[in-house]
């Protein structure tokens, strides 16, 4: 976000997380659902959703300026403007913050994330934030025209435009009382804020429907449907698929080594193939759509995309096959609106699939059916569980820090201020409070649910398998 808070407010939030981690240390339990499928490496919590991953570098030089946050104790000076991220595999992203009170972790890793997996899920003004991004800097590089639209006399520079855009966003993302110090910047910020209209969430740069499939050997398993704004997606099967003789094909049965938007891919498992599993990696180069959210499991402040160069994006699909018995396919997705993660289990076998967690059966998925379990997770808590031999982990970060801390500190944090004017790796001074001793303790605590005793509550509902 902006110059994140570095004083009492930030320390209060960090202390709360530290206490939470300590309190649950003796209560951590791993959820295991027994069934077909071999062990996988750690799987991203947003399996199949794909997109860009990047490392934050700091505020962009020449694209931030001073702002003032008002609270009951007076005025606090902060820096507001554009952040820069380096994309894994190549590319650059420019982002604004949507969590004004939360510090930025040094060189934190970020993943392109649906709004449903961030604080935007519960924000009725999320669409207005996207409108601001589309109608201001850097999407609108004609600063003279931007100034004219806002009724500003005189010139408007990059720093003023970036600060104005960030401040207008904070008013919607955090309900913050914040203004730009510069008169021209403040006038632009007010124009953006009052002019904003609701816009839809942008589509992902690369995502998959049916990112986890299963079925009997000898059948064509799928489909995995590709959604992307890239011209072409490269399709690469894992070594496990190659060794088992499982081919990746299109809907006509022809071998597929590439895909485009709306392509359907299938796994052709040979008759008699022994029980097994594998993965398919999809990669492309494209510009990530403006308004996509970027979240970090390290609790670094959530970002929203303002601009993208051509960047590398990836997604992954999983497949399980067997000759008989219960054959589960599993997908996991954060659900901030409901306060947990949705775990969908689809049984493509010929026998019922008992869903067992912590030694207790909580549901049974009939052959050919699908069920979704809402897995409750506390805010800021880390979840870590294994389903059908696959490991899922992540942190639920669904609220802005301001939800529990009403005002920022009187000392602006280097996190959002970006520290030095270089704003690049090695030169930025991202918040040290963000990488305090609380962070590793949180990361080390695998908080799922207190599964001991009768404390686990699941909400089960059947869902149509279509579109999963």
- pLDDT at residue 215 tops 50: yes
- Residue 164 has what pLDDT? 98
Residue with the bigger pLDDT between 467 and 282: it is: 282
For tokens 């998959």, name the residue.
208
Cβ atoms of 110 and 87 within 8 Å: the answer is no
pLDDT digits (tens, 9 = 90+) for 344-356: 999 999 999 887 7
Q: What is the pLDDT of residue 428?
A: 28
Where does the pLDDT of residue 91 fall: very low under 50, low under 70, confident under 90, or very high at 90 and above?
A: very high
pLDDT tens column, 167-204:
999 999 999 999 999 999 999 999 999 999 999 999 99
The CA distance from 82 to 90, in Å, is 19
Position 48 scores a pLDDT of 53
pLDDT digits (tens, 9 = 90+) for 153-168: 988 999 999 999 999 9
- For the entire predicted model, the pTM comes to 0.78
pLDDT band (50, 70, 90) for residue 218: very high
pLDDT per position as a tens digit, 284-314: 999 999 999 999 988 899 999 999 999 999 9
Angle ∠(39,372,345) on CA atoms, nearest 5: 30
> What does each C-alpha distance from 407 to 2, 12, 92, 170 come to in angstroms?
14, 11, 32, 13
Is the Cα torsion angle 160, 65, 187, 197 positive or negative in sign?
A: positive
What's the whole-number average pLDDT of the chain? 79
Which one has a higher pLDDT value, 216 or 374? 216
Going from N- to C-terminal start, the domains of the chain cover: 51-195
Among the residue ranges 94-108, 294-308, 412-426, the one predicted with the least confidence is 412-426
pLDDT number for residue 106: 83
* Proportion of the chain above pLDDT 70, given as a percent: 74
User: Which bin fits 447, alpha (ψ -120 to 50), beta or left (φ > 0)?
Assistant: beta
The share of the chain scoring above pLDDT 90, in percent, equals 61
Task: Please state which of the ranges 122-131, 191-200, 315-324, 455-464 shows the lowest mean pLDDT.
Answer: 455-464
């Amino acid at each position: 976000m902006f110059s994140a808070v570095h004083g009492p407010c930030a320390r209060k939030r960090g202390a709360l997380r530290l206490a939470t981690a300590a309190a649950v240390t003796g209560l951590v339990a791993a959820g295991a659902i027994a069934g077909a499928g071999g062990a996988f490496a750690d799987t991203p919590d947003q399996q199949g959703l794909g997109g860009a991953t990047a490392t934050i570098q700091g505020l962009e030089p020449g694209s931030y300026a001073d702002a003032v946050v008002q609270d009951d104790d007076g005025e606090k000076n902060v820096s507001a403007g554009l952040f820069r991220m380096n994309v894994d595999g190549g590319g650059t992203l420019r982002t604004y913050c949507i969590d004004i009170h939360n510090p930025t972790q040094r060189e934190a890793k970020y993943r392109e994330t649906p709004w449903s997996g961030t604080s935007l899920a519960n924000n009725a003004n999320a669409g207005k934030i996207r409108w601001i991004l589309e109608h201001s800097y850097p999407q609108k590089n004609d600063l003279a025209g931007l100034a004219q639209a806002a009724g500003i006399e005189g010139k408007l520079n990059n720093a003023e435009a970036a600060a104005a855009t960030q401040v207008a966003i904070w008013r919607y993302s955090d309900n913050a009382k914040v203004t730009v110090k510069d008169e021209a910047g403040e006038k632009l910020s007010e124009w953006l804020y009052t002019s904003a209209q609701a816009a839809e969430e942008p589509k992902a740069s690369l995502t998959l429907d049916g990112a986890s499939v299963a079925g009997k050997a000898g059948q064509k398993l799928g489909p995995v449907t590709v959604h992307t704004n890239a011209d072409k997606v490269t399709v690469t099967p894992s070594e496990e698929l190659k060794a088992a003789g499982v081919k990746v094909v299109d809907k006509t049965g022809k071998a597929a080594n590439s895909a485009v938007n709306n392509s359907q891919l299938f796994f052709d498992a040979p008759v008699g193939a022994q029980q097994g599993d594998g993965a398919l990696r999809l990669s492309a180069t494209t510009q990530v759509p403006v308004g996509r959210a970027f979240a970090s499991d390290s609790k670094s402040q959530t970002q929203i995309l303002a601009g993208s160069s051509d960047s590398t994006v990836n997604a992954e699909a999983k497949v399980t096959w067997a000759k008989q018995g219960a054959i589960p396919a599993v997908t996991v997705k954060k659900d901030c609106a409901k306060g947990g993660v949705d775990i969908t289990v689809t049984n493509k076998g010929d026998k019922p699939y008992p869903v067992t967690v912590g030694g207790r059966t909580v549901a049974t998925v009939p052959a050919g059916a699908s069920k979704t379990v809402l897995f409750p997770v506390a805010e800021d808590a880390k979840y870590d569980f294994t389903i059908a031999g696959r490991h899922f982990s992540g942190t639920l970060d669904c609220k802005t820090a301001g939800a529990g801390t009403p005002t920022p500190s009187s000392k602006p944090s280097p996190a959002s201020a970006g520290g030095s004017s270089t704003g690049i790796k090695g030169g930025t001074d991202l918040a040290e409070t963000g990488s305090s001793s609380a962070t590793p303790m949180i990361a080390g605590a695998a908080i799922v649910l207190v599964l001991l005793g009768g404390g686990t509550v699941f909400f089960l509902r059947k869902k149509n398998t279509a579109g999963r």
